[in-house]
Each structure stands twice: as C-alpha cells, then as structure tokens.
Structure 1
Amino acid sequence: MGFWDSSPFGNDDAADFAAALDETTAQGRIEMICTVLERVATTGITDDLDAGDAPRAVAAAALVAAQCPAGEPVRSNYGPSTSMPQFPGYLRQLAIAALNRLVTPPSWLAEAWRDDVAWRRTISDLRNVLDPPQAETLFDL
C-alpha cells in the first residue's frame, strides 16, 4: 500500500475505495461507507485495525464530513467522481467513533503518521467538523 500525501484519499486503499464507490448505486455507496466505518469503530482496543480498513475509514469519514454544515467538499483526483447521496444522520456518529478508534493504540495508521503534523491536522479537522466544539453553554450553572 502506498501513501503519497496526508489527505483522506492520498493512498492506494482510499483511492481504490473511491473507485468502488463510483461503481455502485447510491444505496450501495451508503452501505459501503457504513460498513467500513462500523468495522473500524467496533474494532476492539486489543485488536489490530485491518490494514485496508483504516485508510478507507478516513476517506469515508471525509465524505460524511463533507455533508456537515462546516464540511468542505472532498477535492481529490483520487476521490470519488460520482456525487454522493445524502447520508443518514447516524453515519456522523459512526464516523466520529471510527476516527476515535483510528487514533487509539494499537493503530498502525496513527503510528505510521505519528510525526506528521499534516495527517494529525486532517484527522482533527474531520473530527471537529463531525463533532464541532461547543462555543457556549445553554445554561449558566
């Protein structure tokens, strides 16, 4: 597997995932994204992440984040060329859980990018779009 940059689609597995998304129906795209996010999110802490699922989950999270209010469209020559359907709301929480798992050891992906500030910023930015920090409280306590 090759990585050429720290963007969500900057690697072979994510580019292959994008190509597979392009070759399926709108419902199939939702199911593919849900499946990879669920597999990563539910991988136990004592289990190693699947080598291909980890980068695919980052790509899937980027596609989900793109539909959030502060999200930005995925701009990559290696991302899907087909428009994405409207994703169900539950994928947002699943994407957050998958990203959280990706940065929790043991994670070969986080270990491989440990010293790369751009990759860590990519993950952090996705996480903040999917689950924005609250700027104010609803009540004074």
Structure 2
Amino acid sequence: MGTWDSGPFDNDSAADWCGGLDDADPNDRAGMVRQALLDVTESADYLDVDEGAAAMAAVAIIAAECCDGPPVTSAYAPDFLLEGGRIGLPDDLVPLALRALDRVLGEDSELWQLWEEADGGRSLLTEVGPLRAALMRRTTG
C-alpha cells in the first residue's frame, strides 16, 4: 500500500475507494459508505489493509457530515465533497462508524499493525482522535 501521510485519505487504498465513491451514482453513495463499515465490522478474520483504509475514509466522511467533525479537505477525498457536496448519510451510521474505528485499530488489523510498526501508532492515533471525539459527541449528546 502506498502511503504518503497518516490522514484517513492519505493512502492508495483510501484514494481508490474515494474515487469509486466520487464516480458512483449519488443515490448509491450512502450504501457504499455503509458497506465500507460493514466490511470491517462483520468480519472476524484478519482485517486487510484495503478494507481498513476504506473504512477509515468512510469514518472521516461520517464524522464530517453527521457530527460536525473535522472537514474533509484532503485532495484525495471525493471531489464532490471538496466542492461542498453532501451524501445525505443517516444518523445510524455514527455508532457503526465507532465500531468500525475500533476494529481498524484492533490487533487483528493490518492497517493498525503497519502504523504500529512505523511509529508505535502515534501518527494514526493523532488523526483518529478528532474523528472519534466527533462521533462520540453525536452518540452521547
């Protein structure tokens, strides 16, 4: 996996997933976001880096759109979001996003293991902190 930074959109897998989301029919986008989360939360197997990266991008989109979290500003995010577009995500994705985040940061996750080897996971956790905080505010507030 090509990675150029620790942000949720800053790797080949996430950028590819975002490209697919950008190209998708607008009516299919919410389902694609949901599926990225389900791919990681419903699997008991070792979590592949590609699935983890797609889920991280989906979490960042949910945090921004549903939870007033960090805005989506990465050049690798879907163009329609960078242009001010929205998906129209349902609120039930927020707790699912938290579960997906926990799964991606778990010991059976290749994405987590790669970051843990690189810098003890500090860079990834720095990026994830504001996303988790936004999601938590929405589920408790």
Work out whether the TM-score is over 0.5.
yes
Larger relative helix fraction: 2
Percent identity among equivalent residues? 35
For the residue of structure 1 that corresponds to 2:88, the secondary structure is coil
Pairs within 5 Å for 1:21-36: 21-36=21-36
8 Å Cα contact 1:65/1:72 also seen in 2: yes
Stretch of structure 1 that moved more, 121-130 or 59-68: 121-130
Aligned residue type for 1:33 = V
Distance 2:122 2:75 in 1: 22
8 Å Cα contact 1:26/1:84 also seen in 2: no
TM-score normalised by L of structure 2: 0.87
For the residue of structure 2 that corresponds to 1:67, the secondary structure is helix
Deviation, structure 1 residue 106: 1.1
For the residue of structure 2 that corresponds to 1:72, the secondary structure is coil
Give a deviation string over 1:40-69, Cα, whole Å, max 9, x none.
Answer: 11222xx20123110010000000000234
Distance 1:102 1:64 in 2: 16
8 Å Cα contact 1:29/1:84 also seen in 2: no
Q: Determine the structure 2 residue equivalent to 1:102.
A: 104
5+ residue gaps, structure 1: 136-141
Distance 1:14 1:94 in 2: 18
TM-score normalised by L of structure 1: 0.87
Corresponding residue to 2:60 among 62, 75, 98: 62
Distance 1:26 1:8 in 2: 22
Stretch of structure 1 that moved more, 115-124 or 6-15: 115-124
Distance 2:67 2:11 in 1: 26
8 Å Cα contact 2:40/2:100 also seen in 1: yes
Deviation, structure 1 residue 5: 0.2
Deviation, structure 1 residue 124: 2.2
Q: Determine the structure 1 residue equivalent to 2:11.
A: 11
Q: Return the index of the structure with the highest Cα Rg.
A: 1
5+ residue gaps, structure 2: none
8 Å Cα contact 2:9/2:76 also seen in 1: yes
Which ranges of 4 or more aligned residues in structure 1 deviate by more than 3 Å?
Answer: none
C-alpha root-mean-square deviation of aligned residues, in Å?
2.0
